[in-house]
Structure 1
């Protein structure tokens, strides 16, 4: 991305009230904004001029958000995509992430949180993290994750994780150096939108630290951001 110009954002959504408000807010926040009224028009816009990031609704006529992601990725375009999903449809969120979306936000959403998410994803892209989503293997220090087989190693030793702990580790390693609140991790990975269930995240983080041999007071992998959530500290590379 050329840092001397305004980052180019494409909004793909059939709700004009949302696109008008978001385009104005993103424009005031320093972005060059284009709008497409559905997934089919969005693909045309991507072909015409590849943006730095796409904000895309899931439920749209002609081509929905998940199909939009699939078609963009099928063209070997790894531009970042943030999906706008419906609250409560956790299967939509997990499926979309599996198919190549970089992040998601529940509808209705706080527009300022969207701005924060856009900037975080663009920072990852600028740091060269965009290929992480497409990689079959990820490495951080001596930790290796095979995303195809869902297996994990430290050095030559394979580690045994519960399915939820694996999903949490994969999500964190795909979003290095970002702080994720417990509520966000619950919503993204478990489909819960209630803060009262946030202890489930703490239990899984404790499991990960135990299996990884990570020290909470001097972590190599997962850091607790006081009163905020968790962050994956280690640099992540592909291969």
Structure 2
């Protein structure tokens, strides 16, 4: 492991989609390494638990319900591959980053074949572990980003700067009207949450629902033409329920 200090530059904070801290389980039988790594992850604002063997890791995972697991391959009771197999049987969506002291290609392949999402080889930099975890969680569409002053919203490749009132997707600026911007902001503040037409009307237009559903439908269609045109769709209709914005399927 190299550079045990916390990263000096804070990246935009990464949270779960409901705004609560990301949950990470660190599994390693080296107490010093687990403590340092846990400290760096807590510096990110995440909720962290540690475990020193496979049995305690599985017990902790049932209680914590982690979004990601940092998992050492070599454990004193069972290996990390077996822990992953049992973990995925109960929590199939969890992201797993393997730690391994073995640099052989076959070991890397074994970890990925077993279902691991990524791996780092000891010794590693703490910054690399944090960056790998952030990438895994974002690609899985399990989290959202906000910058330190709260002005930046990021869902998938869609970015909104609330202060500058700018929106971009895949780095390309998207011109929106005031109402389109407010509608998208409401959707982006509630990713993967189905929002009814009544909720949208109340929040964006401050209207009572009576008979004005067509306004929502119209502006959602405007947004789709600007946000989703020529790209994998992010704005989806849930028949009979409303609309939901979520990271595009890859």
**Taking structure 2 as the reference length, what is the TM-score of the superposition?**
0.49
2:113 to 78, 83, 98: 98
Aligned to 1:120: 135
Corresponding residue for 1:80?
95
Shift of 1:127: 6.2
Aligned to 1:61: 76
Q: Count matched residues.
A: 133
User: How far, CA to CA, are the matches of 2:83 and 2:67 in structure 1?
Assistant: 16
Kept after mapping to 1: 8 A contact 2:72/2:80: yes
Contact 1:9 1:33 (8 Å CA) reproduced:
yes
Which residue among 109, 117, 120 is the counterpart of 2:124?
109
Question: Does structure 2 conserve the Cα–Cα contact (< 8 Å) formed by 1:54 and 1:81?
Answer: yes
Instruction: Give how far 1:116 is off.
Output: 0.4
**CA 1:127–1:78 in structure 2 vs 1: closer, same or farther (change >3 Å)?**
closer
For 1:33, which of 43, 48, 62 is the aligned residue?
48
TM-score by length of 1: 0.52
SS of equivalent to 1:35: strand
CA RMSD of aligned residues (A): 2.2
Q: Secondary structure at the match of 2:97?
A: strand
User: Within the alignment, does 1:52 sit opposite 2:86 as a pair?
Assistant: no
Instruction: Look up the SS of the partner of 2:24 in the other structure.
Output: strand
Aligned to 2:233: none
Aligned-pair distance for 1:76?
5.2
Larger Rg belongs to: 2
Deviation at 1:39, TM superposition (A): 1.4
Instruction: Spell out, residue by residue over 1:42-83, the C-alpha distance to the aligned partner (whole angstroms, 9 max, x if none).
Output: 001111221111001001111211111111123352200000
SS at match of 1:48: helix
Task: Tell me, yes or no, if the aligned pair for 2:84 and 2:116 is still in contact at 8 Å.
Answer: yes
Query: Comparing both structures, which one devotes a greater share of its residues to helix?
Result: 1
